[in-house]
Amino acid sequence: MTGRPDGGGPLRGVRVLDFTWVWAGPYATMLLAMLGAEVIKIESRGRMDIMRRVIVWPLFAPIPQEIPPDQGASFGAINMNKLGVTLNLDRPEGVELVKRLVGVSDVVFENMRPGTMGHMGLGYEDLCRTNPRLIMLSSSARGATGPESHYAGYATVHHAVGGASQITGYPDGPPSTTFGDVDLVNATASAFAVIAALHHRDATGEGQLIDFSQCEGVSSLIGEVLLDYEMNGRSQGRQGNADELMAPHNVYPAWGVDRWVAIAVETDEEFAALACVIGRPELAADPRFVDAASRKRNEAELDEIVSAWTRVRDRDFIANMLTREGIAAAPSRDADDLVHDPHLHARGAFVEVDHPEVGARRFAGAPWIMSDPGVETRRAPLLGEHNDYVFRRLLGLSEEEIAGLQRDSVIQ
């Protein structure tokens, strides 16, 4: 292990060189950092993570290029706990410095188009010459091999190609993609693969190059849908909120504009309790609704009955009433609801970090609570913020050498 020994967290001592950008890579390395790995994000002023300058996503930001590089909101949300350096990889001296860093690192993580790292002289084989035990993960749209390895892609396209959009939407409507969540799910899966490879390396001394396909990442999460085709030749369509066994199982209108509450009833006991809450206790014995199969058969009628009750009531009131009776019920929450959710605050789901340019900001923290975490949340790095630590202390360059490299635009 090569990372700083004084850090905390279960991955302390692991050092990761992070060449990722946008969402799918940066969130993966942030997860590693939140477990204590020392993650060094490598950018340059000419080629910085584009998320630094946009609110969430370049298409939706009104004037993206006018946001200063350290103030992008989504950058801050998925690059916490990392160190940042600026190194110009178009210069051979920059490539040399990367190789020296690889010599004192455990993992290289990148999500450029397949082949890009190789063109810069930073392919896995090049890097293994400096570090034969290196673990490298390359995450790409469709994987590094095969006839479509060069295809570009973003989260919504992966969702479509992977087979998930086809099953998302109203039964009578078009397929729907989701959002960048696909990138963050793939990030999670790729972080898992990297930690697995660390286990393997520690057991055998052997590193490896992990080829991660983001489309495959989508398909691996609909395994049962693909088996339906294998078993029955069926390609499933869209089901809205419906479940194959449960009813009621839907999102119901609540009082107010665009206010909704999700309700899922699993057992006969839960249905009897629901019937009482909505003032229709007789429904529990109604032959149309007497067991799960009957309720599922008469789901449309049931949805009408439940909607008539929910429509004139507050969604939190509904969720609380039903939750108290042991029924799964939750408002369909938007981001503003989440930010103000007292339950999430009680659990510390949001962390506050101080930023020299924008002040204190809250972000969603690690997606788990771990005993003895050993890691405190730190804000995302400013561009080049840790050049001194990395180049002087880690690589042992002198002040003069660093000044020279800065003059020559190698360290930018």
Partner 1 sequence: MASRGAFDGVKIVEYATMVSGPYCGKLFADMGADVVKMEEPPSGDPARQRGPFPGDKPHPERSGLFAYLNTSKRGVALDLDQPHGLEAFRRLVAWADVLIDNHPPARLESLGLGWDQLRQQNPGLIFASLTPYGRTGPRAQAKGGELTSFHAGGLGNLLPTRSEDISRPPIKAGGYPTGYSTGLTAAVAIAGALYGRRASGDGGRLIDVSEQEAVLALVRTNIASTIYHRTVWSRVPERPPALGRLECSDGYVVALLIEDRHWHGFVELMGNPDWAAGPEWGTLYYRAGHLMEIADRIAEWATQQKKEDVHHRGAAKGFAIGSVYNAEEVMNYRQYHARDYFVDVDHPEVGNARYAGWPYKMPASPPAVQRPAPLLGQHSREVLQDVLGFSPDEFADLRREKAVWEAREQ
Active site residues: 183
Residues across the chain = 412
Is the Cβ–Cβ distance between 377 and 81 less than 8 Å? yes
Residue from 48, 87, 98, 191 that binds partner 1 (CB under 8 A)? Answer: 191
Residue from 95, 226, 284, 290 that binds partner 1 (CB under 8 A)? Answer: 226
Site for partner 1 contains 136 (CB under 8 A):
no
- Return the HEC string of 58-90: CCCCCCHHHCCCCCCHHHHHHCCCEEEEEECCC
Residues 18-37 that bind partner 1 (CB under 8 A): 23, 31, 35-36
> How many positions of this chain bind partner 1 (CB under 8 A)?
159
Site for partner 1 contains 6 (CB under 8 A):
no
Amino acid identity at 78:
I
> Per CB under 8 A, which region of 8-16, 115-123, 387-395, 400-408 contacts partner 1?
8-16
CA dist., res. 45 & res. 88, Å (int) = 8
Query: Tell me, what DSSP letter sits at residue 142?
Result: S
Site for partner 1 contains 407 (CB under 8 A):
no
Degrees, nearest 5: CA angle 269-275-281:
100
CA dist., res. 259 & res. 331, Å (int) = 8
Is the Cβ–Cβ distance between 322 and 274 less than 8 Å? yes
Nearer to partner 1, 45 or 345 (CB): 345
Is the Cβ–Cβ distance between 23 and 51 less than 8 Å? yes
Residue from 148, 269, 376, 408 that binds partner 1 (CB under 8 A)? Answer: 148
CA dist., res. 130 & res. 370, Å (int) = 35
Nearer to partner 1, 253 or 404 (CB): 253
Site for partner 1 contains 141 (CB under 8 A):
yes
Is the Cβ–Cβ distance between 289 and 283 less than 8 Å? yes
Residue from 53, 159, 313, 379 that binds partner 1 (CB under 8 A)? Answer: 159
Site for partner 1 contains 173 (CB under 8 A):
yes
163: left (phi over 0), alpha (psi -120 to 50) or beta: left
Least distance in angstroms from the C-beta of 221 to partner 1: 4
Amino acid identity at 279:
G
Q: Which residue has 């609909």 as its token pair? A: 222
Nearer to partner 1, 256 or 396 (CB): 256
Residue 135, helix vs strand vs coil: strand
Least distance in angstroms from the C-beta of 15 to partner 1: 13
Residue from 125, 279, 304, 368 that binds partner 1 (CB under 8 A)? Answer: 368
Least distance in angstroms from the C-beta of 90 to partner 1: 19
Residue from 93, 228, 301, 314 that binds partner 1 (CB under 8 A)? Answer: 228
The binding track of 382-401 with respect to partner 1, each residue x by CB under 8 A or -, is --------------------
Least distance in angstroms from the C-beta of 209 to partner 1: 7
Site for partner 1 contains 210 (CB under 8 A):
yes
Residues 64-103 that bind partner 1 (CB under 8 A): 73-74, 76-78
Residues 253-282 that bind partner 1 (CB under 8 A): 253, 258, 260, 262-264, 266
Site for partner 1 contains 199 (CB under 8 A):
yes
The binding track of 33-62 with respect to partner 1, each residue x by CB under 8 A or -, is --xx------------------xxxxxx-x
CA dist., res. 127 & res. 349, Å (int) = 38
Least distance in angstroms from the C-beta of 275 to partner 1: 17
Residues 107-126 that bind partner 1 (CB under 8 A): none
Q: At what angle do helices 315-324 and 268-277 cross, to 10 degrees?
A: 130
Is the Cβ–Cβ distance between 137 and 210 less than 8 Å? yes
Amino acid identity at 347:
R
Least distance in angstroms from the C-beta of 394 to partner 1: 20
Amino acid identity at 370:
M
Nearest-Å Rg of the Cα atoms of the chain is 25
Is the Cβ–Cβ distance between 207 and 133 less than 8 Å? yes
Residues 292-351 that bind partner 1 (CB under 8 A): 323, 326-339, 342-344, 346-347, 349
